[in-house]
Structure 1
Amino acid sequence: MAGCAPQQKAVTSTLSSPMSLEKALVEPAQVEEAIGLEKQLNSRTDEAIPSGENWFKVLPGTIPVIITAPHATRPWREGKRRFSDGGGTASLAVLLHELTGATVIYTTYEGPSDPNYYDDNAFKEQLAQLIALNKPRMVLDIHGSHAYRSYDVDVGTMNGESLQGEDKLLSDLIQRLHQDGIFSLSGNRFPAAKNATITRFSHQHGVPAIQLEINSTYVMPSSGNLEAQRFSRLAQALARYIQDISH
């Protein structure tokens, strides 16, 4: 037993070292703002696009990363409205813009197309312009996934192809998610390899891209304290990841 004491002391010392901790990034007020946007977008079911307004919004950034949330409102696919991933996906993208300076594009009303299924729409035209203008380090595409899914986040990379040989983009993402307590990860359950996905579109434009299918319990901050805290942790992990790769 005596031989165990030095080892235990060393572990305690490491865990208590202030150098091993990072200061929290997300404030309650920011989550409250995110909840407000989530509720606003969720309330726009069957609401017509106001005259003179677009069905998506762009937040110009200051770093070479683009974040998309194409299903924050219900898209139009194959002649009918498809379900939305929830306004919380846009809330997450907007908060990441505030925390990092990344460029963001997200839907604000139910549009005439599906930006993650078709290429011939104004959303994709705008994304192409942003790619040409910003020459981004990567595109991060945010989606919501069913709460019953066994993962916290499924990472879609077209089975590795969309990383364009930059595998560190994936390993760094996994590391950051783990550091903020998000451990249940899946790879390419939804690979973004079929149809005209944003990940495929970005890859075709020469930009590494990752699709994130996020369990809805992480992108519904209005649902309760637990969901709001999960949202906060995920935003923090992704913000730190974006800051890391943009340097």
Structure 2
Amino acid sequence: MVLKKLYFLSLEVVIFISKILNFNNQLISNALLLEGEFSSNHYLGRNYNCLFKYKEGVIPIIISAPHAVKQVRNGLIKNPDIFTGSLALILAQRTKCHAIYRTFTGNGDSNSDSICSYKDYLVKKIMQYPLRCLIDLHGLHKKRPFMIDVGTLNGKSISKEIENLIIETFLEEDIRDVRFNYLFNANKEGTVVKTIWEKTNIPSFQLEINGLYRDLSYIESWNKFQQIVITLEKLIYRLNKTLSN
């Protein structure tokens, strides 16, 4: 069975559908509920008199989701990278890492704007704690013929050791088609990764995740979503251990 446009429904309707389907999967139910913060108002998100939220953690790794809601670039509204916001929140819950995520579209794009409160705040928090690594979450269209594209400014923003760690972790969880700087190298001016690398010099990389691993409106993607959560959870713990030595 396929549930189309499930992520545009209200929290109340999602809860009701969950009960009808007798959901017994805590992770998927949690992701559907968390996505309600971003999917409200047709993915323009909720106006909290700010554009983003920050979740403080214990592990000095930070997950970023600047495209959790729609964004505006060059005067055009662009679609969100669905479930990247809820994925960031789930990883923060499970690993106690830090997280920053866009909650309201406003009139800009946190992964493009040169003047950007999202990135300014992120730099401030990285320096304050201090944080050791940034993982910036984005989404590939599900029609792309590969699963993961890791943007590292063409190899500049992470070490070879971290690159190998990423490859090994994804392979262990049977996610095999992982490419580096293939279509999205994060090297454009204004990207989160480029900005953070240039201003803080901490290891930073962009993860473009295929919609097959994110789009929970399709039941067929539920196992893949769990797979990506487990993979990134393991990666966060390993990065923390590696960067603490």
Q: What TM-score, normalized to structure 2?
A: 0.83
Deviation (angstroms), 1:47: 4.9
State the secondary structure of the residue aligned to 2:174: coil
Counterpart residue type for residue 185 of structure 1:
V
Counterpart residue type for residue 80 of structure 1:
L
- Size of the aligned set, in residue pairs, is 216
Deviation (angstroms), 1:134: 2.2
Residue 36 (1) aligns with residue 30 (2): no
Residue 197 (1) aligns with residue 191 (2): yes
Counterpart residue type for residue 232 of structure 1:
Q
Q: Which residue of 1 aligns with 2:62?
A: 66
Counterpart residue type for residue 150 of structure 2:
V
State the secondary structure of the residue aligned to 1:155: strand
What aligned pairs does 1:48-197 form with structure 2 within 5 A after superposition?
Answer: 49-50=46-47, 52-86=48-82, 88-163=83-158, 166-189=159-182, 190-197=184-191
Q: Which residue of 2 aligns with 1:209?
A: 204
Q: Deviations over 1:189-216 (max 9, x none)?
A: 2000112111101111211111001001
State the secondary structure of the residue aligned to 1:111: coil
Q: Distance in 1 between matches of 2:31 and 2:45?
A: 23
CA root-mean-square deviation: 1.7
Q: Which ranges of 4 or more aligned residues in structure 1 deviate by more than 4 Å?
A: 46-49
Q: Distance in 1 between matches of 2:131 and 2:92?
A: 14
Q: Distance in 1 between matches of 2:147 and 2:196?
A: 24
State the secondary structure of the residue aligned to 1:212: strand
Q: Say if 1:45 and 1:179 are closer, same or farther in 2 by CA, change over 3 A.
A: same
> Would you say the 8 A contact 1:72–1:106 is kept in 2?
yes
Gap regions ≥5 residues in structure 2? 1-23
> Would you say the 8 A contact 2:72–2:78 is kept in 1?
yes
Q: Distance in 2 between matches of 1:180 and 1:227?
A: 15
State the secondary structure of the residue aligned to 1:45: helix
State the secondary structure of the residue aligned to 2:239: helix
Identity %: 30
State the secondary structure of the residue aligned to 1:53: coil
Q: Deviations over 1:62-103 (max 9, x none)?
A: 0110110000101121122122111x0011111110111110
